[in-house]
Structure 1
Amino acid sequence: MKTDNNIISDDTLTVAQLAISHPGALSVFTRYNIDYCCGGHRTLTEACHRIGLDPEKIREEIYSQQTDSPDQSFRPERWSSSLLVDFIIQNHHTYVKRAIPELEALLDKVCHRHGDESIELLNIRERFLDLAEDLTSHMEKEELVLFPAIKRLEANKAEDNPLAITIQPPIAAMEHEHTAAGDLVKQIRVLSDNYTPPEYACPTFRITYQKLQEFSNDLFKHIHLENNILFERYKHVTAL
């Protein structure tokens, strides 16, 4: 059996597979802006080279996370699909719905105060409003259509097996929307200089960037659970 270190050194594994097998790697990927959700199909070497990082340095940092990190006990890949769906809704969807109006109010406030001196800030608000609209519609489709279908498919595979085919287009559509959402987050990250407020920023400005970074980090964990774990279980299933 391969040791954890041997698994991390295996460059045939994708970033998404490492994120699943080594939960402590998520904090490393987040720190270095390594895309482990929408771009999780790349190997660690490929992902690092795309953004100018040394993959061996990243591997060493992942090694250092394999101790008593609380992340090690969080293993959603071992959960049932129904439990995973409920966790996503109760934790990530609920967070997004609560955070959107808070961030919209903060962005309106700082744009009113600093918009004349920061065109980037106005562009950030525009991107975030697009992101908020997209996510609101996206989560509604998941909660009303896709997630109930996944629960039915898991609960009664024999009778509901035709769902295995009909569920494929909604999964593809949700993954496409995840990519679009991820692109908007990356644009916000660039416009905000990786959420670094300028020297003249007031406390509200600084809090806004902090909240945007928290939103970004949560969204990537959210998409990771769906793309790399939940959806992956059903993407290649066919009816009997």
Structure 2
Amino acid sequence: MNMTSLPLGQIARDYPGATGILKKMKLDFCCGGATTLKQAAREKGLDAHRIASDIEAHMSRRSGQPDPTDLSTESLIEHILERYHDIHREELPELIRLAKRVERVHGSHLKCPSGLADLLTDVLAELENHMAKEEQILFPMITRGINGMAVAPVAVMREEHDNHGAYLEKIESITNDMTLPEAACNTWKALYLGLETFRDDLTQHIHLENNVLFNRIDGRMGGVSNG
């Protein structure tokens, strides 16, 4: 089905990252969730097809997953930066915004994920710090072939990945493994869909670094350098 014919609420629920684009266009997917994208865009003088294309482009960016073992080290780093670092930076602020809204509106609900927005804010700060160290220090060191000096920073990054895993466990605990209550609003549904996607993304991100890229540096699991 053409996305422009779908209700805004369904788009927010089914397309990870769509809520940020809809919000930017000032399209109300919560209270106005039953309105189709075409109708909502027409009322605001917007191009529904352009909005749908932006959402589809975002989805396309996150769907590409080459076989990492076939990539050179430089290409693998570029893939990690574009597919994970950039997308974490795009999507986490929107998840924080959605979490704040759910906590504000549904704070009295027994299943409200109280404290989630603050936790996600901590996650974003930790990830920003971690990714900056990779981008500014470790990755340039690796691409210049200074692998011997990179072993110690790699060990630090592995430890920080363990911390990221602990954050994912806290998110799962607060949300009861992203289990929605009955009759959850569109914002709550979009939040948990986004959290599931973020969890999967971060898990794959850590896997690619720990088990593929970093193995080429410190030789764990029989890793072999692949320039």
State the TM-score, normalized to the length of structure 2: 0.65
1:1-240 paired onto structure 2 within 5 Å: 74-118=66-110, 121-153=113-145, 163-236=146-219
**CA positional deviation for 1:194:** 1.8
Contact kept in structure 1, 2:168 and 2:199, CA below 8 Å: yes
How many residues end up aligned between the 2 structures?
A: 157
In 2, the alpha carbon distance for the partners of 1:129 and 1:94 equals 17
Which letter maps to 1:104? I
State the alpha-carbon separation in 1 of the partners of residues 183 and 107 from structure 2: 13
CA RMSD of aligned residues (A): 1.9
Amino acid at match of 1:207: A
CA distance in 1, matches of 2:183, 2:105: 12
- What per-residue deviation string (whole Å, max 9, x for no partner) do you get for residues 172-200 of structure 1? 11111111011111221132122111114
Unaligned runs of 5+ residues in structure 2 are: 1-62
Question: Contact 2:102 / 2:112 at 8 angstroms: preserved in 1?
Answer: no
C-alpha displacement of 1:88 = 0.5
TM-score (norm. length: structure 1) = 0.61
The SS at the match of 1:138 is helix
Partner Cα distance (2:149, 2:110) in 1: 47
CA–CA separation in structure 1 for the residues paired with 2:100 and 2:92: 12
**Alpha-carbon distance, 1:119 to partner:** 7.1
Deviation at 1:99, TM superposition (A): 0.4
Structure 1: gaps spanning 5 or more residues? 1-70, 154-162
State the percentage of identical aligned residues.
34
Q: Distance in 1 between matches of 2:200 and 2:89?
A: 15
Q: 1:123 deviation in Å?
A: 2.8
Where does structure 1 differ by over 4 angstroms across 4 or more consecutive aligned residues?
A: none
1:120 is displaced (CA, Å) by 5.4
- Taking a change above 3 Å as real, the CA distance of residues 180 and 120 of structure 1, as seen in their structure-2 partners, is farther
Distance 1:234 1:202 in 2: 47
1:141-195 per-position Cα deviation (integer Å, ceiling 9, x unaligned): 1111101111001xxxxxxxxx333211210111111110111112211321221
